[in-house]
């Protein structure tokens, strides 16, 4: 009598995939530096309290390896894991509003910014050019750029308001519009 062992490879691969660390997302250098600094602060605080990494990891409901990755500032670790580790160590995590984003400065100088949706009422020349657009008072940036480019010869460039001129420049630079027409 022969006995065969049947191994379900898909199940094994599925299990292995779930224990492998997630790939690191693409982040800006400034964000990476902040994560590294946060990880250093967590590690220093843990060391100051003389608590082992294993004890903190168990209390936070994670593996020791995940805590090690947090202390290294790896971006692939979830924010929830960072916060769990900080809660176990009784560290406060507060959101500090940058001075530039104060509520009174929300309508400040936004030169070079491209809005997610462009309201036709805010840009008089664009509203005149988009006469054929019915049923909406908003355009996507690409739609606005296409309308500007197709109808630039009909524009009164001298009477463009400064914020509309900034929008045209930002659309052209950000979305790669043609430089000869706009």
In the chain (182 residues long), the average pLDDT of successive 10-residue segments reads 57 54 73 91 94 93 94 92 93 73 52 80 87 84 89 82 86 70 50
pTM over 0.75: no
Question: Scanning the structure block, which residue is given the tokens 């509203």?
Answer: 127
Q: Residue 20's pLDDT is what?
A: 58
Look at residue 119 and give its three-state secondary structure: strand
Q: What is the pLDDT of residue 5?
A: 54
Give dist(CA 151, CA 131) in Å, integer.
11
> Cβ–Cβ contacts within 10 Å for residue 170, how many?
18
Q: Is 76 helix (H, G, I), strand (E, B) or coil?
A: coil
Q: Are 146 and 126 in contact (CB under 8 A)?
A: no
pLDDT at residue number 90: 92
Which pLDDT score, from 0 to 100, does residue 21 have? 62
Distance CA 178, CA 25 (A): 32
Count of beta carbons in the 10 Å neighbourhood of residue 50: 6
Query: Mapping DSSP to helix (H, G, I), strand (E, B) and coil, where does residue 15 land?
Result: helix
Q: Could you say which of 3.90.600.10, 3.40.50.11740, 1.10.10.10, 1.10.260.40 is the CATH number of the domain covering 22-88?
A: 1.10.260.40
Residues β-bridged to residue 118: 139
| 20 in Cβ contact with 45 (< 8 Å) | no
Listed in order, the ranges of the chain carrying CATH 1.10.260.40 are 22-88
Q: What is the pLDDT of residue 71?
A: 96
Q: Report the C-alpha gap between 138 and 64 in whole angstroms.
A: 50
């Amino acid at each position: 009598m022969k006995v065969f062992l049947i191994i379900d490879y898909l199940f094994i691969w599925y299990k292995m995939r779930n224990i492998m660390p997630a790939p690191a997302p693409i982040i800006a250098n400034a964000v990476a530096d902040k994560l590294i600094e946060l990880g250093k602060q967590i590690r220093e605080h843990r060391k100051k309290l003389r608590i082992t990494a294993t004890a903190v990891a168990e209390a936070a409901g994670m593996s020791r390896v995940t805590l090690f990755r947090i202390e290294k500032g790896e971006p692939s670790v979830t924010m929830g894991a960072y916060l769990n580790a900080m809660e176990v160590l009784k560290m406060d995590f507060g959101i500090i509003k940058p001075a530039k984003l104060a509520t009174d400065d929300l309508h400040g100088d936004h030169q070079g910014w491209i809005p997610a949706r462009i309201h036709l009422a805010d840009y008089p020349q664009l509203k005149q050019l988009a006469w054929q657009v019915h049923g909406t008072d908003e355009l996507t940036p690409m739609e606005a750029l296409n309308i500007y480019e197709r109808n630039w010869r009909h524009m009164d460039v001298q009477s463009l308001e400064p914020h509309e001129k900034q929008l045209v420049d930002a659309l052209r630079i950000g979305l790669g519009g043609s430089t000869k027409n706009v």
